[in-house]
Amino acid sequence: MININRSVSRLGRDVGLSSIRLNRRKAAQLSGKRFKSSSSGNQSAQNSVVSGTPFKYLLGAGAIFACGIYGGSLYSATKTASPQDHVAASFVDKSTSPIEDLTAPKYADAATLKIAFAEIIKIVGEDSSTTTDSELDTHSDSFFNTHHAKEGERPGLVVMPNSTEQVSQIVKVAHKYRVPITPYSGGTSLEGHYTPTQGGISMDFRNMSEIVALHKDDLDVVVQPGIGWQDLNEILKDDGLFFPPDPGPGAQIGGMIGTSCSGTNAARYGTIRENVVSLTVVLADGTIVKTKKRPRKSSAGYNLTQLFIGSEGTLGIVTEATLKLSILPKNETVAVVPFKTIDAAAQVAQEVIQSGVVVGAIELLDDEMMKCINAAGQTSRTWSENPTIFFKFAGTPNGVRDTIEQVKHISAKHESISFDFAANEEELEELWSARKYALWSTFDVAPPGFHAWTTDAAVPISQLSKIVSETKKDIVDNGLFGTIVGHVGDGNFHAIIMFDPKTQHGITQDIVHRMIERALKADGTCTGEHGVGLGKRTFLMDEVGQTGIDTIRHLKVSFDPLGILNPGKVVNINPADDITVEQN
């Protein structure tokens, strides 16, 4: 009898799936939606699909064997409630997912969350989970976030897994109960990336901060997502190696991969996209996937590694990364070159790049930023309060000298005020310290109660001087206090605007919008390295267009059909979600 039950159950599944395939178009018409995230939605879609003739015959056969197929019927009922079956039939005749085709995801209610949290805590242990107010607040927002958490945008639980396997187990529980998951790695992002818009759990990678394997001969290293780039480089320097991407202090590898970060070294070594070999990722249902092995190049299939870089934890959760390493320069120096105008400084950066001169970094700080650095007093010297470029040079001693002379010549053509370069390691650290403390210096001198709106854009090199000058003028003309700093070696710059939230929010918002509009008009991007998060979703729409957004959404829905991975970031899958809501 057991064997017969299994055979009938298997027959039911086979015929049912055939019915699904035969009636996909009809099912889509009856359901009226291509994505159903609630249990009732899944049930409704299944009822539409299984009403075909083949299934009626199956029911007839089932009646004949009714007394002996209870187990098979129970299995079929379970399958009917499965969201995966619906998703398999949901992408009918389309390669994109317009928002009007979707329905709002349904997440666990309070009672269900309690059950899920208990199961998750059992996985990681009491010591690796917390619900203290201070931790929940830390995992919701920060002072320098551009998009601040709203009421209710707070995790119910912070968990700290210690392995890929634990992450997978947690995600399986979250998937079963529809619990939102927001990855947290460093907490230094600026566009609301780690704000838990739907509550749920915040997954903190502080317990996954190790080097898994160092392959010195291959110039790569396997790391966990919770290790900071500064800590990693401190360890690697004894072997004469380093990992080039260097965003803000405190950034960790997981967040750097999620936002597709850059840094001061991008002019020579590229962004993080060019410095990641492969990833281990936990998908939305707990499946573990490794994107590729360790070769520097591969033509094998789709490039899954690049798909997850910049996805901000919305497609999967990175638990390991194999990173490219570079040889630590033996001869390195820094030059600091102030100019009379920001336009002249930007033009020098542009001309140095176009001339083919190889430099390690080209960083631009405007006059207000230099004033902030002096006022904050975090460095050991007083700086010229003019728009200034910070150059890094590396190579052989003769090569460095030749490069310095070429850059000095270009700078003189644009009336540089001075040209100071480091003669030793101590002077190098001193000169570069101004760039290192730039962001924090702006915050230090801002009036009490002011908010910071930090944004970035990137444009083709030929458009750089124009857009930097226009943005600077826009800030000044509107009577606001703001600074500009840029990794101008790759056309990327940042504006940090301090404003009174009671009286200057609207003006600041307009300035930021105009800055992004200028960048897009110049064939640039709304973000060079900060990422989209919550704050730049409308700008992403402007950049890639409706079809581009619908294609991105299609990827999101296919990877995360329940919408539990970092909800609301990059692209919305909820028709009720107003992505035009501005930063606060």
Contacts of 182 (CB under 8 A, 6+ apart): 139, 155, 194, 195, 196, 200, 201, 202, 203, 313, 566, 567
Q: Which of 573, 576, 568, 504 is nearest to 536 (CA)?
A: 568
Lookup: tokens for 335: 């030059």
Residue 276's pLDDT band, with cuts at 50, 70 and 90, is very high
Lookup: tokens for 26: 């009809």
Q: Give the domain 330-530 fold.
A: Vanillyl-alcohol Oxidase; Chain A, domain 3 (3.40.462)
Average pLDDT rounded to a whole number, residues 245-267: 94
Please tell me the predicted confidence (pLDDT) of residue 135. Answer: 96
Please tell me the predicted confidence (pLDDT) of residue 65. Answer: 39
Mean of per-residue pLDDT scores for the chain? 85
Average pLDDT rounded to a whole number, residues 419-443: 86
Torsion on CA atoms 220, 224, 230, 236, rounded to nearest 10: -40
Please tell me the predicted confidence (pLDDT) of residue 144. Answer: 75
Percentage of the residues of the chain whose pLDDT score is greater than 90: 69
> Is residue 567 scored above 80 in pLDDT?
yes
Please tell me the predicted confidence (pLDDT) of residue 91. Answer: 56
Lookup: tokens for 569: 């970031």
> Is residue 101 scored above 80 in pLDDT?
yes
Average pLDDT rounded to a whole number, residues 299-312: 96
Sheet holding 451-458, edge to edge: 420-421, 332-338, 388-394, 361-365, 481-487, 492-499, 451-458
Question: Higher pLDDT residue, 66 or 423?
Answer: 423
Question: Higher pLDDT residue, 485 or 24?
Answer: 485
User: Domain 95-328+536-584 carries which CATH code?
Assistant: 3.30.465.10
Q: What is the pLDDT of residues 480-520, one digit of tens each?
A: 999 999 888 889 999 999 999 999 999 999 999 999 999 99
- What is the reported pTM? 0.83
Residue-wise DSSP of 155-221: -SEEE---SHHHHHHHHHHHHHHT--EEEESSS--SSSTT--TT-SEEEE-TT---EEEEEGGGTEE
Tell me if residue 265 falls in helix, strand or coil: coil
Please tell me the predicted confidence (pLDDT) of residue 44. Answer: 34
Torsion on CA atoms 170, 171, 173, 175, rounded to nearest 10: 170
Lookup: tokens for 583: 């930063």
Residue 580's pLDDT band, with cuts at 50, 70 and 90, is low
Please tell me the predicted confidence (pLDDT) of residue 92. Answer: 60
Q: Which of 40, 44, 59, 48 is nearest to 24 (CA)?
A: 48
Pairwise CA distance, residues 225 & 278, whole Å: 13
Quote the longest CA-to-CA distance of the chain.
95
Q: Which amino acid is at 410?
A: I
Least confident of 47-61, 254-268, 453-467, 468-482: 47-61
559: part of which helix (H) or strand (E)? helix 537-559
> Is residue 46 scored above 60 in pLDDT?
no
Q: What angle is formed at CA 413 by the lines to CA 411 and CA 419, rounded to 5 degrees?
A: 30
Residue 440's pLDDT band, with cuts at 50, 70 and 90, is confident
If you search the block for the tokens 């178009």, which residue do you land on?
25
Pairwise CA distance, residues 53 & 56, whole Å: 5
Pairwise CA distance, residues 60 & 17, whole Å: 17
If you search the block for the tokens 């320069």, which residue do you land on?
329
Q: What is the pLDDT of residues 338-371, one digit of tens each?
A: 999 999 999 999 999 999 999 999 999 999 999 9
Backbone phi, psi, residue 15, to 5°:
-70, -40
> Is residue 45 scored above 60 in pLDDT?
no
Lookup: tokens for 429: 């650290």
Average pLDDT rounded to a whole number, residues 183-194: 91
Residue 411's pLDDT band, with cuts at 50, 70 and 90, is very high
